[in-house]
Each structure stands twice: as structure tokens, then as C-alpha cells.
Structure 1
């Protein structure tokens, strides 16, 4: 994503809401986005001009072809470089006349791109975006499995596949996984999708696993196949001896990608160097060419004592060393979530004259000042979590994360409360100091609930701003919100992180309104505090950002930048919904005694 101007973001949000509800009035959009109805009419006119919506009196409806073409979930197509290579290699196993199954993974998407020359090929898939892409390739027969559509991933599951497949013969099933071990086999994070894969595996004459080497040793929520159930495993050249030996013991054939294929895969990418480093980082390998050797790197962390920042800093150090930076040339500062401290640190960084500077600082105003100072001193800067003018960004897609949180909360409201009528108030604990970008986490949450339950949602919303990113500030904000609630039985609350959620829980306890299960509470990042809140049943779920992996995104971008190579303007980290049921799949070391 290369354009973050607010009108363009609002257009994408309008499309999202129309996709969810079919139609909305100008007045409803105005209330959701806090802009005038004239502004909304202009937005709708622009979308109508592009053929994406159909104007109606007082509002608009989604154009028939828009929902899949423009709004297919990006994560369904977001893959690593190794996934691209594996998909290309696996495509060599597809013959003319085959009847194959492709799952919804990045490896399957990469494989699909190489099927255009096949003749008389039939493809089954449970991915709506992939089915759409396959039909555009030409001479293919495409079947989309039936069932319920997951709004987050645009993947279909839960249909009666056995009866459907009794009429067809599947030649080959191509499946990928979230994790693979000798004991648990191939595992997935979503139960419904695992069941779809299990069904096609049982029906196929030949089963091909597409497994990135980084998935070895990882266990997710549910197993869908033993290694021995596969005939071939296609993997990348990062597969270590333990992985290869485990596959061999199961009598499964191994087909590996080769370095020559990797070079060709990056040939058309403007980010070839960056892509190479990202592949190294995901495999936890020494970075190609050791770009940090003899260079200095500085990192100003948000708040060194915060669990999220602790995980980020550890990952930063680990990847800086893999990139070739020597310990004496790695400088780390603590901004203490204080813009004055951030300015002091920036002045110290300028005196150090590093080759690259990574800044994690919440104030948009101060980021503009720091950016100007770094530019004057010819120090390239990388923005972490909060955008900085003219700097590449690494962090969360806040709007998407907010939508994910809202979708999850809507499901919990239906399941636990029976519907939105049981919720008295919806409280958004916000942090405006972090610019409108961070507000997307909470406003996306509200927009998703509005899409799910209608205009009555906005009537229930209370917005309270935090003066700082601390639990104490959030407690005070929540106390102000509660004072506006009157007699409330059930609340739905979201915060931008778990420090703030700690403050929310504290305020509820002080007000005598605390009881696990009484309210729907959803937060962001799933750091150490968040994981404890989930285990204790204090909250319903969190959007996991996996801060312990942030270095895998930061250092490739930083190294490409200091090497004068092209860097994506926006690099978004992986985000997943984490609940008590799925926590141990993502963090297997956290197992109750």
C-alpha cells in the first residue's frame, strides 16, 4: 500500500462497509466517519465513477463485481519469497488433464500463477480470491467449494464436501500448513479450513505438501494430516537436516526449490534485495552479504519497560546481529513514550551519525520535527508503528487490525450476549497523540460493529482519549467513560494495547462492575501482558502482532535503506486473532499445568 491519504483510506472503508451490509445511507456514513454528508456524497460519486458502487437516493449499494475484485482480503495473497518459490516448483507437478485441489495459502496462490498454460485442467479451491484469479487465467475449469464464508480471509468452509466430491475424482491435492512436526504432522490455525484439507486429502490419489522451512517445528491448533499421509513435500532450500530427516523417515519424497529459481523469482521485483533479506530473516539465517558489517544502527524504542517493546527490542538485536552489525555498533535508546525524551534521543542519534536510524515514537507532531532533523543531517530513517514523513513504515495495518477486532467482537456478542441489544455501551479507549493512524484500531472496531449490527451501534459508542500510553491514563479514561454510562449491565470495550486494557480492568473493578464474562473486552498486540489477560479469562481476545518477530521486518528494510536499495513504503506485520482456545497454538510454551 503506497498511498495513505485520508480520502483514499475512507473510500476503502466505505467499500468495506458496503460489502458487509449491501447498502448504507449518506447519513449513516457521515455518522461513522465524522464528516459532513456533502463529503460522503463526493466520496460516493467518486466510487460510482469508478464503477465500484451504485448510487441510490440518499446512499449507495455495492456494485455486483466489486466485493471480490477490490476487497479480497490481502492476507489471503500475502506470501513470503519462499512461498513464491515453493508454489512455482509445485506447479511442475501439475499435468494437463489433472483434477487438483488448491487450499487458500500463499503457496497455493503462487502455484496458481503458473497454471495458465495447462490444458483441460480442473481446479477445486475453498478460496474466493483464488477462484477469482484462476478464472481470469483462461482455459481452466474452477469449482469453489460450498459453505460459510470467513469475512476475514474470504475462505469458504463447513459445506457438505463428502457428497459433493463423491461425483468427482481428485488427481492431486496441494496443501500447505501453519506448522509441521514429526509428532503432530501438518497443523493449521483454523479448524474449519483444516477439515476441508482433511477431506480433500482423503479423496486425492496423490497428496503434495507445500511446506516452508520456517514452518518446521511449529505446532498450530489442529492437525489435518500426518507426514506419512503425503506423497511429496515441496520445500525451500532453507530446510535443515532435522526437517529433511523427519520427512525421509516418513517415506515421503522431497522436492526442493533451488537457488536459480530464487533469482528468477525476484527478477521482476523492484524490491529484489529487500525480498532476499526478508527470506533470510524468516529463516533466521545470516543475512546475504552481511549488509550491517562495519555499519552503525540506532533504534529509539517506544518504552523499554513495556512487554511489547521488550519483545521488539530482543528481536531487533537478534536480527541486527544476523545482518552483520557488531554489538558495539548497535545503539538503543528509550523514548519512554515521551515526545520530549524522543527529541533528546534524536539529538544524541545525530551526534552518533549512524548509517540508519529506526524510530518508534507516538507523537505525529514530534515525528515531523525529528524527520526534518534527520534529513538535515543526511541520516536515513525508518518509521516503526507511527508514520514519519518521507520514511518507509514498518508496523501494523491499523485499520485492518481494527476491523479484525470488531469482527471478532461481533461474533462474541452474538454468541455470548445474543445480540447487540444486550450491550449497553461500546467504549473506545483511544490515543489521539499517536495520530489518526492509531485511531484506526478503535474506529475500525466501531465501523465493523456498525456493519454487523446497524446504526444503533453508533448511538451506544463512547469515545475517551488517553493523555498517554499508560495503564494509569487508560484507567482515568475508562473512569470518565463509566461516569457517562449510567446503569450499565454489559459493555463492549476495545483499547489499542494491553497496557491500556489493564487500566480498563482496574477501572471496572474500582467501579464494582468487574466480573469475567460480564463484558466483551478485545485489545491489540497480544504481548506478555495480553497473553496473561487471555489465560486469566480477563479478556475475550486480542489481535496478535507477534512483537517477538518484528526484527524480521525492521532489519531487512533498514539494511536495504542503508544500502540505497528500494524499500516498500509500507511493510505490514502479520496479524492474527488470538483467544484462549488458540493461544497455545501460537505460543506453545504457555501450557497450563
Structure 2
């Protein structure tokens, strides 16, 4: 009896793609490109392209260590990100890092600008809830409105990640504020020892009280480090002023202080942000007091690094918060939350202190 072969209208590459997806779904754990290739025996180039396509379309997620895993729902995830302000260089850098990571890891982003304004930040949170995003990443500076924003997002049962400024119900990602403050303070104290024989008349903290006590611990850390290096100083030598993290506000405050203390020649300034630090530099330069003042900032934005390289600049350093690491860390953290993994409530990015000597050192071999 003659066998009749039924013609099968199959698409070979689609079958291979489905084999890869089914393998990841059945294994239910992250797998590397190499292990998927070994298990399926499909061309490694094909495996790579299929994995990248699935990730782009939201069927898979790729973690920072390069492993792939099946996403629990067959739709592309969409994260809402509210940036601090498109006028703040650090916020822009975090946004760009997040955009690149989201594209690489197959996540859609809905980006809104908080414009450094509490009312707008609240309105943006409501827009995320209305748009039913899968997760919200909040970067806004006003601590007073943080509970209101967090409550609205929590009521909608949307996971929340807070960048740099803690919010109730949120997982935190940012710097260890007290530690980066100490790093800045140690640099300032070392400058005083090397250039002024350890003599200091005033220590100014260009603070950011609107962001809450955690961010204010940058100033606390700086003050404590200066005391530990230089020894105890009169408590009245330490002054906190609200620079709001803004250049013009900080410039006016420092200009007024320098005018009122025209005779003092040993002044250290620890700024909560580089933008504040640059405002202090403006005031120092206008007063022609460059030799009398040393400033250290936070964030290591490009304009601050350019300023540091100028001859006799009062900006002697900045603590880099490594903005390039924010995006991958935020997306990985978001995917972990959505998959039901247990994550720490506080997640810290790496930091490093940058000085003019580091910036001016040529690469090895040059």
C-alpha cells in the first residue's frame, strides 16, 4: 500500500524561533546565548538574532549579565519615567541612559518631564496611572509631594521605583548620600591641608532641603569628613544654605556670603549638585576670590568637568554618580519587581571621586 505524504506548509525559521521561546518558557530560568545554542543546535547567529528580536518585542528580557528569560506576559512592557527636568544636566544624562537600556532590553518607555515642579510631577503621576503603564520610575526632587505621588501610584497597584529621592511604597535606586558627602568633604579637607596649612574659616553646605533628609545627608557627610580630617572646629563655622540645586540661586547666595565675609581667605563649599557648585564658582570668580575658596560638587556633569580643567578653578572636584549605570540598573530592577522577585528596598549605584589631575592624566600608552 502506497503511503501518501501530507505536505506541511511550515516556515523553518519561525519553527526555530518558537523552539527557542518554548525552551526558555519550559526552563523557567535565565539562560545564556551559549546554553540556548547548545540545547537547540540552531545556528548561533540565528539564535542571537531571534533572541534580540524577542527582547525588542517584549517576549524576553535580557539582564545586565547577558542572560535571557521569558517574560511572564506576551506583551511588551511599558515603563513610565518622570524625569527631574530636561533643564538639569544630570537628569538628562539619567534619561539618556534609561532610554538606551530600555531599547536594549525590550521595554517601551513613556517619558514625561517633571520640570522641577511639584504640581507637574503630581500631574505626571496621574497620567501614568491613566495610561496604565506596567511600572513607574519617579525622579522628582520635592519631598513634600512624594507621599501624594506614591499613594496615587500604589492605589493603582503599579510598582514604583524612586530615583535618588525616596518615596513611600517605592524601591529606591541612587547613591549612598551620606557616603558621597563624606567623599566630597575628604577632598575639601585635603585641599585645606595642602594649600592653607589646614586652616579653614568657613564651611558652606549648598544644601537641598526640598529633597528631604536623605539627600541632606550629603552635606552632613561632608561636614563630618572635614571635622574628622582637620579636627574639631567651632560649630558656627559650618553653615547650611538652600541652593535648591540650581545655579542662579547658588550664585546669589555665595555672592552675598563672600560680600559679607570679604576678609576671610579659607572657605570650603560642599554643594549638593554640580549645578549648585557651578553657581558657587560663578560667584567666586566674579568676586575674584579663586585662591580663597574651594568647591566640590556632586554628579560630575560635563560642564563641571570642563570647569575643573580650567587653570586656578575653585572647583577642585566632583563625585561622579556614574549616570551610565542608572539605565541598566533601573530596567533590571523594574523587570525583577514585575516578575515577583524579592529585591532590596535600597539599591545603591557605584560612585567615584573625580579631580582635575584625573581628568588631565593622559591614557596609558599615550
Q: TM-score range by the shorter chain?
A: 0.7 to 0.9
In structure 2, the residue matched to 1:461 is 238
Write the deviation string for residues 325-376 of structure 1: whole angstroms up to 9, x where unpaired: 1xxx311111111111101111111111100000001111111000111111
Of residues 213, 222, 242, the one that matches 1:445 is 222
In structure 1, the residue matched to 2:288 is 513
- Name the SS for the 2:144 alignment partner: helix
In structure 2, the residue matched to 1:401 is 180
Contact 1:356 1:379 in 2 (8 A): yes
Shift of 1:577: 0.9
- The correspondence of residues 461-480 of structure 1 with structure 2, limited to 5 A, is 461-466=238-243, 468-480=244-256
Write the deviation string for residues 505-539 of structure 1: whole angstroms up to 9, x where unpaired: 122233x2333x44221111111122112222521
> Are residues 403 and 291 of structure 1, via their aligned partners in 2, closer, same or farther at CA, if it must alter by over 3 Å?
farther
In structure 2, the residue matched to 1:524 is 298
Shift of 1:584: 6.2
Of residues 107, 113, 120, the one that matches 1:334 is 113
| TM-score normalised by structure 2 residue count | 0.77
Write the deviation string for residues 57-109 of structure 1: whole angstroms up to 9, x where unpaired: xxxxxxxxxxxxxxxxxxxxxxxxxxxxxxxxxxxxxxxxxxxxxxxxxxxxx
* 5+ long unaligned stretches in structure 1: 1-236, 240-276
Matches of 1:238 and 1:445, distance apart in 2 = 46
In structure 2, the residue matched to 1:53 is none
In structure 1, the residue matched to 2:53 is none
Of residues 324, 344, 361, the one that matches 2:140 is 361
Shift of 1:384: 0.4
| TM-score normalised by structure 1 residue count | 0.48
- The correspondence of residues 521-560 of structure 1 with structure 2, limited to 5 A, is 521-537=295-311, 538=313, 539-560=315-336
Aligned residues: 304
Matches of 1:400 and 1:287, distance apart in 2 = 34
Matches of 2:324 and 2:308, distance apart in 1 = 18
In structure 2, the residue matched to 1:565 is 341
Shift of 1:484: 4.2
- The correspondence of residues 239-258 of structure 1 with structure 2, limited to 5 A, is none
Q: Is 1:371 aligned with 2:146?
A: no
Of residues 60, 75, 85, the one that matches 1:303 is 85
- Name the SS for the 1:386 alignment partner: coil
Contact 1:358 1:381 in 2 (8 A): yes
> Are residues 376 and 545 of structure 1, via their aligned partners in 2, closer, same or farther at CA, if it must alter by over 3 Å?
same
Q: Is 1:392 aligned with 2:171?
A: yes
Of residues 323, 339, 353, the one that matches 1:577 is 353
Write the deviation string for residues 208-258 of structure 1: whole angstroms up to 9, x where unpaired: xxxxxxxxxxxxxxxxxxxxxxxxxxxxx999xxxxxxxxxxxxxxxxxxx
Shift of 1:565: 1.4
* 5+ long unaligned stretches in structure 2: 1-31, 35-60
Matches of 2:237 and 2:128, distance apart in 1 = 46
> Which structure has more RCO (C-alpha within 8 Å, separation ≥ 6)?
2
Contact 2:122 2:145 in 1 (8 A): yes
> Are residues 465 and 290 of structure 1, via their aligned partners in 2, closer, same or farther at CA, if it must alter by over 3 Å?
same
> Are residues 555 and 507 of structure 1, via their aligned partners in 2, closer, same or farther at CA, if it must alter by over 3 Å?
same
In structure 2, the residue matched to 1:324 is 106
Of residues 331, 343, 368, the one that matches 2:122 is 343
- Name the SS for the 1:503 alignment partner: helix
- The correspondence of residues 133-532 of structure 1 with structure 2, limited to 5 A, is 280-281=63-64, 285=66, 288-289=69-70, 294-325=76-107, 329-419=108-198, 421=199, 423-456=200-233, 458-466=235-243, 468-510=244-286, 512-515=287-290, 517-532=291-306
Cα-Cα RMSD: 2.5
